[in-house]
Structure 1
């Protein structure tokens, strides 16, 4: 018999307070992003809808693109924007892929479901510009969003969804029910019903995709559990899945592999 102690849900999903030098790490991201944008080929702030934050950046390789790489940023659906994350396109661009980084309106102004719809709209828009296979990845809340786009209830156009190959959520959240017990829910405003409706763990995956759930080995236990959960459930629903716990990585440096086209993370995304 396994006994479980009562969980402090706020602490279970708290990353910054449980990572040494977290503020210093996060302060580097806007600088790295600005440096990448200054030297990158592509187009910034492409509008894909009427909302103020309905825009995306599209970075292009030196030659003809091999396909479309998508990175969806995190922030618990209620913080950050694409200006902080441009450098996460580097590995894909260096490997010859166009890289899409979409923005979206934040909670509580919109719901999580509306955010997923916005990101789907951005991917549909960019897919009309870039041919070839489409690989989806996203960090934290972004990991949740790309998993949602890989279900049979996807908001992607049929032609766009058919082009999906690999989905690699990084430190993603796939069963949203525990978040109801956290202070995060002040902005998310989840109920049991809406948490279940927005949890990809409760949905059928598209039959032609492959999912690799990726997480840092030193992350909070809940992120390790959620990572294993989606790979386990979707494997049982008939698709190829894997769950990777990258050694010596935490929630804020697990994305570093996106900057290197030869990293294990990028080889998985682009396989």
Structure 2
């Protein structure tokens, strides 16, 4: 049985189709407001998509938060999410938002390697601890940084696809080209969290059951905490990244 319905989001969210345009407007307004404190289009590799935007606080940054966008590894880009840097900046942290090569031009294994390279590029520019978060497919990539990226002190995957096996039976796999070997190698729920990296899994309480299962599976396999954000669905679960006092931001940056 195909997993398409289980991983459909917009159809189960009121006004779901309107979110990308809203994100784009808010992101553009944020970039205009921060002005020169936003360094846009920095390269972390030779590919056209291997770029990140870096937003800096007014004082010397305490460290850097990296946010990896979602879109089922097929769509989206950093330019939709600039406004989510507001919470980190208000807490004195820099915030980096990388893009990465999307399917079908790249497979998930290559995307993981690209984000690991982006983490290293941010580390070279911003001293202090690095925290990696990401949403949905970006949550998967953020979780993988807890396995492969030695520079990440903490990972907080938001609504991650932590076990890739359901994607084998999804129509999206026509572009993702996942096979059993790649699923095994790139499913963070099957892998070991680095001992020098802490983790906390985040998911919305009103998400599709598949995403609640994915979040709980990762938290159980990694023996790390997980939080179910009351009333949040798959699209607004990231909104609290813009609020420096939110529980999500405290979970991300508190104690570092």
Match of 2:29 in 1: 35
CA drift of 1:197 comes to 1.2
Q: State the shift of 1:170 in Å.
A: 0.4
Q: How does 1:40-59 map to 2 (within 5 A)?
A: 40=34, 41-59=37-55
Which position in structure 2 is the counterpart of 1:21?
15
Cα shift readout 1:93-125 (whole Å, capped 9, x = no counterpart) = 111001010011100101001011111111101
| Offset, 1:84 | 0.6
Deviation at 1:164, TM superposition (A): 2.7
**Structure 1 residue 8 displacement after superposition:** 5.0
Deviation at 1:224, TM superposition (A): 0.1
* Matching residue within 163, 177, 189 for 1:189: 177
Partner of 1:69: 65
1:262 aligns with 2:245: yes
Q: CA RMSD in A?
A: 1.0
| Equivalent residue pairs, number | 252
1:77-101 Cα shifts (integer Å, max 9, x gaps)? 0101111111111100111001010
Quote the residue 1:103 is aligned against: 99
Pick from 4, 21, 25: which aligns with 1:10?
4
5+ residue gaps, structure 2, are none
The structural deviation recorded for 1:20 is 1.0
Match for 1:90 among 86, 89, 101?
86
Specify every segment of 5 or more residues in structure 1 that has no aligned partner in the other structure, as ranges.
Answer: 1-6, 236-240
Q: Secondary structure at the match of 1:44?
A: strand
SS at the partner of 2:84? helix
Q: Secondary structure at the match of 1:10?
A: coil
Tell whether 2:142 aligns with 1:146.
yes
The secondary structure found in structure 1 opposite 2:238 is: helix
Corresponding position of 1:171: 159
**Of residues 232, 236, 241 in structure 2, which corresponds to 1:249?**
232
CA distance in 2, matches of 1:22, 1:215: 17
The separation in 2 between residues aligned to 1:146 and 1:10, in whole angstroms, is 23
For 2:10 and 2:40, locate their aligned partners in 1 and report how far apart those are by CA, in whole Å: 29
Q: Deviations over 1:144-202 (max 9, x none)?
A: 00111111xx1x3xxxx2x5332110000111001111111111111112111110111
Q: Residues 119 and 152 of structure 2 are in contact (CA less than 8 Å); yes or no, is this contact kept in structure 1?
A: no
